[in-house]
Amino acid sequence: SAEAEYVSLFACCAQVLWMRTQLTDYGFHFDKIPMYCDSKAAIAIWCNPVQHSRTKHIDARYHFIKEKVKKGIVELFFVRTEYQLADLFTKALLVERFKYLVRRLGMRCLTSAELEALENESA
């Protein structure tokens, strides 16, 4: 449901903001944090400042996200489901879909020789 996606966005946003704080302590600085969601309904709840009857039952703590968007800390983008990289970590996927998302992340399998070379570099 849109509400479940919205709550998931909250959890993701909270984690991203925590990581941002940690990385800032190490000297990394960020402008707006882009977040990607494949639910237009959840995005509508997130970006709409008005409370509707459909969303009034959502716990108020989840609405802190709206403040982060308003302040320009987080920017939310719609991404079509087939390009949702998070599915790689959250869903059971067919092999071809899994391989496609792995390539989109820029990941690849290393050969034994490549792993050995990396091990020797770090020694």
Q: Based on the domain organization, do 55 and 74 belong to the same domain?
A: yes
Q: Based on the domain organization, do 70 and 104 belong to the same domain?
A: no
Report d(CA 34, CA 93) in Å as an integer.
Answer: 25
Report d(CA 18, CA 24) in Å as an integer.
Answer: 10
Q: What's the domain count of the chain? A: 2
Q: Based on the domain organization, do 12 and 51 belong to the same domain?
A: yes
Give pLDDT, residue 18. Answer: 92
What are the tens digits of pLDDT across the range 90-103?
A: 888 899 988 888 88
The pTM assigned to this predicted structure is 0.65
Give pLDDT, residue 53. Answer: 54
What are the tens digits of pLDDT across the range 63-109?
A: 677 778 888 888 888 888 777 888 888 888 899 988 888 888 888 78
